[in-house]
Amino acid sequence: MGWGWKWICCVAVLKLLYHRSHCDVSEGNVRNGRQKATEEFSYFEKVVPVIRTRRSARDAVTWAENQHLDEVEVVVEAFNKTFTLDLKLNKNLFGDKFIEKHTTNGKPIVRRYKDHKNHHCFYHGKIRHEEESLIALSTCDGLSGLFQDGTEQYYIQPVAGSTGFHHHVFRASDRHEQHLRCGTGDHAHDFPSFYHRSLNSKHLHRLRRAIRGPYNSGKKTRYVELFLVSDHRQFDMHGKNVAKVIQRSKEIGNIVSALYNELDIYVALVGVEVWDSGDKIIVDQDADVTLNNFLSYRKTFLNPHFPNDNGQLITGQSFKDGIVGKALKRPICTYRYSGGVNTRWCICKQNSGESISDSYVFLPVFRGCC
């Protein structure tokens, strides 16, 4: 049975401002060594969120009895609104055999965890009284992530160096439009106008309903195992700190998981790798070259040892012609097509013209701070 809608490229383009370790953040101005966030956002607000747990009506952590709580409530007052975020620990974030991989003194280091599925700090949720809302937050070190109320999308991150529980909240509609494109095979598609249109609540509702349709028609839930690789430029951009890059990859996985849960597709992170000792492929300004190199790397070095359904390279390299993500428009069943390279976070979906099970879903990823 065919699927009526054709393609959606880069829905809800969200450049999350994570990793304050690489940001000098001050009121009204965010910068790293390369770029000011004020070049992308015209306005943001400084807030002090309140975390409420069963043990306390006002707290700054979600940790109790040697683990993060299953359910918490966060209140954020920003942009003349009060958001009550009802959060639940995302216990489906990690696959059973999740690994972390990097290099020390030229030797590969692979870490496995016995109880990683429940002992972490990544949450999904809803805004109270907002049926069309979505939340994906990390509470590992303050609050980092996104929430959307069906009309607008917001990003939150801690203020660097704050002695209190201060955070910055950004609004997607305050981001200056940029000419960026998603690449599929030999083609690339512009998305800025579609992005701004997609923020309309009625359009979001119709879009979610249109996409969700096939999954609610008696078909089985899809389960995708995702492997994320960060290149050496990403390692440099995050202060040459492996732990920070790994943490960022987990945050990405949590957001991807939240977005695809809406489509009845469950994404589990099965591995993260950091190329801290140097790139293991040629990462070129030509997105096609980089994509083909990464697909070969995935086939030879990832799949035999760390089975996955989809691999994504997160790179600090800027691609030519404004390309922010590249993948081949084919089914994800083979190594040749089930991968992508990305400098910013976008969602691309493509209908192959066959049944939904034969369609290709590009998993979204994004570039880091500022």
The 3-class SS string of 115-127 reads: CCCCCCCEEEEEE
Task: Collect all residues with Cβ–Cβ distance below 8 Å to 220 and sequence separation of at least 6.
Answer: none
Report the relative pairing of strands 153-158 and 67-68 from DSSP bridges. Answer: unpaired
* Domain end (from 143, 174, 205): 174
Regarding whether 361 and 266 lie in a shared domain, the answer is yes
Question: What number of other Cβ atoms are within 10 A of residue 325's Cβ?
Answer: 31
33: left (phi over 0), alpha (psi -120 to 50) or beta: alpha
Regarding whether 292 and 272 lie in a shared domain, the answer is yes
Regarding whether 260 and 325 lie in a shared domain, the answer is yes
Position of tokens 């949720």? 125
Regarding whether 136 and 51 lie in a shared domain, the answer is yes
Cα 76 from Cα 81, distance rounded (Å): 8
Predicted local confidence at residue 66, as pLDDT: 60
Total domains in the chain come to: 2
Query: pLDDT tens digits for 199-209?
Result: 444 444 544 44
Cα 14 from Cα 32, distance rounded (Å): 18
Cα 114 from Cα 196, distance rounded (Å): 43
Predicted local confidence at residue 17, as pLDDT: 35
Predicted structure pTM score: 0.75
Predicted local confidence at residue 216, as pLDDT: 42
Domain that holds residue 361: 178-186+218-369
Predicted local confidence at residue 230, as pLDDT: 94
Contact 59, 275 (CB under 8 A): no
Regarding whether 358 and 229 lie in a shared domain, the answer is yes
Query: pLDDT tens digits for 161-217?
Result: 888 899 999 998 998 766 555 555 555 444 444 344 444 444 445 444 444 433 343
Regarding whether 161 and 244 lie in a shared domain, the answer is no
